[in-house]
Structure 1
Amino acid sequence: MNQEKIRELEKTINSDYGNIAGMIVQKNGIKVYENYFNGYTADNPTHVYSVTKSVISALMGIAMEKGYIESTEQRVLEFFPGYTVKRGEKTIQNIRIRDLLTMTVPYKFKSEPYTKYFTSESWVKAALDLLGGKGQVGEFRYTPVVGPDILSGILANVTGQPVLAFAMENLFSPLGIHVPNNVVFHSKEEQIAVMKDKNTRGWVADPQGINTAGWGLFLTPADMAKIGQLYLNNGIWESKQILSTGWIDESTKEHSRWGKLSYGYLWWIIEDDEPIYAALGQGGNVIYVNTKKNMVVSIASLVGLRAKDRIEFIKEYIEPLFENCVSA
């Protein structure tokens, strides 16, 4: 690898993508680049925000493969028999798992009611209470925080396990990913402090112990690269089928659309023909998979609402530099 080009890349990162904490590039399953910034090391996880959604997608696929869930066509309320639907509510009764996975469900809010969500005793119930309204099922509506937790509630109910325990047994441990415990906070100030602490490990859970589905997972770049490689390997890890090929195929093809952007099952579809797909989280957290070039890129980033486009960065700088690499 041309070290001068590497130095140019890192100069670009420091000048234009200054909130990157760490990055790994893999080509043909081989790590060809790894580096850390902003005082982070390989041992420091970051809060990966909505990358969590794509992990939940994988767990839903595993739950289906194990027979806990029959079909994505099942109605959401089947999994919450104790939930009481308010009089006159019809939309919520028709919402399927598939609709949650593709972000095509309506909600009773124009902007996400974070205070109501975070102060509720059950974030799953808070999301159920907000489902429906005047919107149409089938229309794309991206909800970063409120809503995806319903999938965590489904997982916990059907498996009889905490989501983290199910994930450790069926996904994290087989990949060598360490997510040791639930992360719980009791105030807004504590939440902000936790998110900025480079030593925080785990997965955020609500007061009922249900892990978040739309955000809240802390991973290292190596952890994210393993998830990307699992998908690139058609669900196989060390000769064992962890995730079904069918679920990966279904998850990474277009099911819904937001303007020019395509969406699968909680994965963003960057290009259909190659295909290229990505898990994307606020601030520039990314798991990027290019199946044609056999590349995986993972980028962990610090909090930054105005972070520059990581897909553009990968396409302009990373792929041209590393696509012909054969070894580290």
Structure 2
Amino acid sequence: MDYKLLHNFVSENHKNICQITTMKKGKVVYSDTWNGFDGQDHFHIASVTKSIISLLIGIAVDKKLMNLDQKILEFYPDYQMKRGEKTIQQITIRHLLTMTAPYKFKSEPWTKVCSSPDWSKTVLDLMGGRRGITGEFKYTTLGIQVLSDLISKVSGISTIEFANAVLFSPLGIKPRIAYTVKNKEEYIDFITSKEPKKSVWFCESNGNVTAGFGLCMSSLEMAKIGQMCLEKGVYQNQRIISANWIKEMTSSSVQCGERFGFMNYGYLWWIIDPQNNIFAAIGDGGNVIYINPVKEFIVTVTSTFKPAVFDRIQFIQEHIEPMM
């Protein structure tokens, strides 16, 4: 399949794809757009945001601002636990990064959390439970919001300022701007609108950026992040994050169940092929940063909102990877 055939294939079979960028050995070798968008447009990359938060945590660890075995409640000395609650006292940063923290909810309590003035404090009330820490994988978007709050606490600046200073600026990525909404309708529009976004990051009303979703980027910006990860924390001869963190972040920490195709999970990154260390950031709608260290290339995809897109990695492996 050549590039023209690929363009037509995407147009016919993956109608919500907006941009694709591929890089080989540090150079852009393919870039294309669909649905009237251009390469500079930004899109909500959904849960790819989680993987960016992992990078920020890694930088904070490198700077010795925190360590993964610290208990979450160390950062909230004034937090009042509910009577009889003990499990929350054992939850660490590592538990949040590997999605093995226990929660009291079965499904994400969006209304309860998003209508509260402080999402992190509300999430703390939802952590723990009678079963204790079991090590089971429990994927959550709202449950990791505390990570954004922790970055701000240990750095002394807002998480978005930290991201702009230590990650986006060194990569030549335009600073993100905090974006808040006034009501539920504006929130839904942010998630589902097919219009391109500005260079923003969704925030709580208190200005704290969301950790599980909400970041808006272009596929080229995502490719820069992917290239930095491929080069073990270095971008254009500048070290941004330690090689040790990249290795640890992309090593299998837990195996997921049938719902997630029995994939392995690192620190907020999906491990696609543990043997070849192929890993990816994956977001709702099929937003992806796909990294193949063996073949030294990355593929990034931006998409508009579409529920239940589960074949994007398969599409990359079957139709783009062979071209590389």
TM score, norm. by length of structure 1: 0.94
Superposed CA deviations along residues 93-115 of structure 1, whole A, max 9, x for unmatched, are 00011000000011111111111
Partner secondary structure for residue 29 of structure 2: strand
Once structures 1 and 2 are overlaid, which stretch shifts more, 173-182 or 268-277? Answer: 173-182
The within-5 A match list for 1:104-115 is: 104-115=100-111
Question: Are 2:77 and 1:81 aligned?
Answer: yes
Residues 17 and 308 of structure 1 are in contact (CA less than 8 Å); yes or no, is this contact kept in structure 2? no
Please say if 1:63 is aligned against 2:65. no
Structure 1 portions without partners, runs of 5+: 323-328
Match for 2:120 among 114, 120, 124? 124
Distance in 1 between residues matched to 2:91 and 2:16, nearest whole Å: 38
What is the alpha-carbon distance in structure 1 between the residues aligned to residue 58 and residue 310 of structure 2? 32
Runs (4+) of structure 1 moved beyond 6 Å?
Answer: none
How far apart, CA to CA, are the structure 2 residues paired with 1:179 and 1:301?
A: 21
Superposed CA RMSD: 1.2
CA offsets, 1:185-217, max 9 Å, x none?
A: 011211122332313321111121111100010
Name the residue aligned to 1:228: 226
Which residue among 65, 68, 72 is the counterpart of 1:72?
68
Given that 2:291 and 2:299 are in contact with CA atoms closer than 8 Å, whether structure 1 keeps it comes out as yes
1:3-152 counterparts in 2 under 5 A?
A: 5-69=2-66, 71-137=67-133, 138-143=135-140, 145-152=141-148
The correspondence for 1:237, drawn from 235, 238, 241, is 235
Query: Which range moves more in the overlay, 33-42 or 55-64?
Result: 33-42
Aligned 8 A contact 1:13 1:20 in 2: yes
Tell me whether 1:315 sits opposite 2:312 in the alignment.
no
Deviation at 1:54, TM superposition (A): 0.5
| Correspondence for 1:305 | 307
Structure 1 residue 237 displacement after superposition: 1.4
**What CA distance in whole angstroms lies between the structure 2 residues aligned with 1:134 and 1:305?**
33
Query: Which amino acid counterpart does residue 312 of structure 2 have in structure 1?
Result: R
Letter in structure 1 aligned against 2:321: E
In structure 2, the residue corresponding to 1:174 is in which secondary structure?
coil
Mark the runs of 5 or more structure 2 residues left unpaired by the alignment: none
Contact preservation (8 Å) 1:194, 1:200: no
Counterpart contact for 1:106–1:134, Cα < 8 Å: no
8 Å CA contact 2:284, 2:308 repeated in 1: no
* Cα deviation, residue 273, structure 1: 1.1
Change (3 A) 1:135 1:186: farther
1:156 match: 152
* Aligned-residue identity in percent: 44
Q: Is the 8 A contact 2:19 2:34 kept in 1?
A: yes
Residue 219 (structure 1) shift:
0.6
Q: Say whether the 8 Å CA contact 2:7–2:32 is kept in structure 1.
A: no
Which of 268, 271, 275 does residue 270 from structure 2 map onto? Answer: 268
Question: Between Structure 1 and Structure 2, how many residues are aligned?
Answer: 317
Match of 1:216 among 210, 214, 222: 214
Q: How far apart are the structure 2 equivalents of 1:38 and 1:179?
A: 26
- Matched residue, 1:281: 283
Partner Cα distance (1:56, 1:315) in 2: 26
1:52-103 superposed Cα distances (whole Å, 9 cap, x missing partner): 000000000000111111x211111111112111111111000011000000
C-alpha distance in 1 between matches for 2:132 and 2:36: 46
How many angstroms does 1:134 deviate by? 3.3
C-alpha contact 1:127 1:150 (8 A) present in aligned 2? yes
The one-letter code sitting in structure 2 at the alignment partner of 1:252 is T
* Alpha-carbon contact 1:235-1:248 (below 8 Å) kept: yes
Aligned partner of 1:131: which letter?
A: M
Contact 1:289 1:297 in 2 (8 A): yes
Secondary structure, aligned partner of 2:103: coil
Residues 274-321 of structure 1 deviation map (CA, whole Å, 9 limit, x = unaligned): 110000000000000000010100000100003251110011000101
SS of 1:296's partner is strand
Work out whether residues 17 and 307 of structure 1, in 8 Å CA contact, stay in contact via their aligned partners in 2.
no
